[in-house]
Amino acid sequence: MSEIIVGVVVFPGSNCDHDTEYAVASFSGIKPVMLWHNDHDLQGAKAIILPGGFSYGDYLRAGSIARFSPIMQEVIDFADKGFPVLGICNGFQVLLESGLLDGSLSRNRDKKFLCCQTTVKAVNRATIFTSLYKEDEILSIPIAHGEGNYFAPPEVIESLEEHDQIVFKYSDAQGLVTEESNPNGSLKNIAGIINRQGNVLGLMPHPERASEKRLGSLDGRGLFESLFRHIACV
């Protein structure tokens, strides 16, 4: 059986691209390919990942310039056609800036760059990215960001809730979604959301850093495996 290709976009300043490639390559039957931001070729990818990092130095606003990179025309087209796109951390910021997801991310509430293990709850397992998690499963996944404070106007939050588009929330170890368990001030403790169509997911935590036992957690593997099972079946 030939391998399924998953594209990992590399912007100038991306620094989690190799970790993402490494995590993706650990799944059998899946081949990661690196897609340079200046190219227009998705190289037959069945899913696209926008990795974490500091594309364009986070200049102007995080993700605001990467959003206009040449390859984003193909990525947006790919997403509009219903194919899966996953944005991790800076990748999530790029998806928000491009309008593929609604809302915005700004400076963490306590002003500090946070680099730590965090607990998130998979509040919606009815997505192609979370089908292998149990409902409300509690996951240990690290975050590493200075601008992870999710905001959206009230009508957008209402719509996200109405259509079950909130996929991950920061919680405590018992699964309680509290202010104390919210590391960055995100509205409703939102850590990750999906679009209405269900094919574009953005999250601030780094599942690729929770994909190997020696990194301290395997909880990120469920996200990748759910996605790869989906693309293997379509």
Partner 1 sequence: MPYLAKIKVTLRQSILDVQGKAVDHALKNLGYRTVESTRIGKYIEVTINEEEIVEAERIGSEISRKLLSNPVMENYSLELEHIK
Interface with partner 1 by CB under 8 A: which residues? Answer: 60-61, 64-65, 68, 96-97, 102-104, 106-111, 149, 151-153, 185
Shortest distance (Å) from residue 4 CB to partner 1:
35
Shortest distance (Å) from residue 48 CB to partner 1:
22
| 40 has catalytic annotation | no
Shortest distance (Å) from residue 111 CB to partner 1:
5
With respect to partner 1, which residue has the nearer C-beta, 64 or 217? 64
Q: What is the 3-state secondary structure (H, E, C) of the chain?
A: CCCEEEEEEECCCECCHHHHHHHHHCCCCEEEEEEECCCCCCCCCCEEEECCECHHHHCCCCCCCHHHCCHHHHHHHHHHCCCCEEEECHHHHHHHHCCCCCCEEECCCCCCCEEEEEEEEECCCCCCCCCCCCCCEEEEEEEEECCCEEECCHHHHHHHHHCCCEEEEECCCCCCCCCCCCCCCCHHHEEEEECCCCCEEEECCCHHHHCEHHHCECCCHHHHHHHHHHHHHC
Of the candidates 37, 89, 147, 230, the residue annotated as catalytic is 89
Shortest distance (Å) from residue 117 CB to partner 1:
23
| 16 has catalytic annotation | no
Of the candidates 16, 74, 208, 230, the residue annotated as catalytic is 208
With respect to partner 1, which residue has the nearer C-beta, 22 or 59? 59
With respect to partner 1, which residue has the nearer C-beta, 44 or 153? 153
With respect to partner 1, which residue has the nearer C-beta, 104 or 118? 104
Shortest distance (Å) from residue 101 CB to partner 1:
11
With respect to partner 1, which residue has the nearer C-beta, 13 or 175? 13
d(CA 48, CA 81): 13
| 37 has catalytic annotation | no
- Name, in order, each residue with C-beta under 8 angstroms of 181's C-beta and a sequence gap of 6 or more: 119, 170, 171, 172, 189
Phi-psi region of 44 (alpha: psi -120 to 50; beta: other; left: phi over 0): left
Active site amino acids: 89, 206, 208
